[in-house]
Structure 1
């Protein structure tokens, strides 16, 4: 399937598909759902084989089951979304790098 064909099925312009593919733009959960539906694959298809640095597959077991029930986590999420978007992206990338070296 071409980028153009996928874009038509999803209902967006092919340039947006290119931006998703190159990582220039992030894919929202709902858009990922639309793409998976258009390709006739489950959303989990896009995450198959992803492993952490320790070699363990990334699963929900690595995250507490009630993460937003934790006051500290909820405060962190609220504070995060209070930050302007461009700074939030930079903070997210910093957190990603720090978690990779932890």
Structure 2
């Protein structure tokens, strides 16, 4: 059975890769491995060594610490039970589609959309 840290790191690799629009094949090429290995990392089936995680972080343009963000520690739950935001927001496909679409909008329009969303959430 995969360790929870390996699964979490794998999810974060997949999320970042997906957000950047990169394929498993492209990431594998940048890191110098086969895409099947990326698949195994993303599912948590294989552990990512420190040096390989460094290379993946470089390829995905993030700090190594990015892959550990949001990791729960010894029984500490994130978020309140009545919080409308899911604990693992980045695993929600709809949320990921929204984020990706948001960043594809030109910056000046994106800022206006952000302000509109803030006003609508205050009213709700």
Give the TM-score taking structure 2 as reference length: 0.43
Query: Counterpart of 1:25?
Result: 46
Q: Aligned to 2:46, what secondary structure does the other structure show? A: coil
Q: Which has the higher contact order (CA 8 A, sep 6+)?
A: 2
Q: Is residue 52 of structure 1 aligned with residue 73 of structure 2?
A: yes
Measured in 2, the distance between the counterparts of 1:49 and 1:21 equals 16
- The alpha carbon displacement at 1:18 in A equals 0.5
Moved over 3 A (4+): none
1:1-102 map, 5 Å: 1-55=22-76
Cα displacement (A) at 1:56: 7.8
Q: Match for residue 81 of structure 1?
A: none
Which runs of no fewer than 5 residues in structure 1 stay unpaired?
58-102
Q: 1:54 to 1:24 in 2, by over 3 A?
A: closer
Using the TM superposition, give the Cα deviation of residue 53 of structure 1 relative to its aligned residue in structure 2, in angstroms: 3.5
Cα root mean square deviation, aligned: 1.8
Tell me the distance in 2 between the aligned counterparts of 1:26 and 1:48: 17
Greater Cα offset, 1-10 or 16-25: 16-25
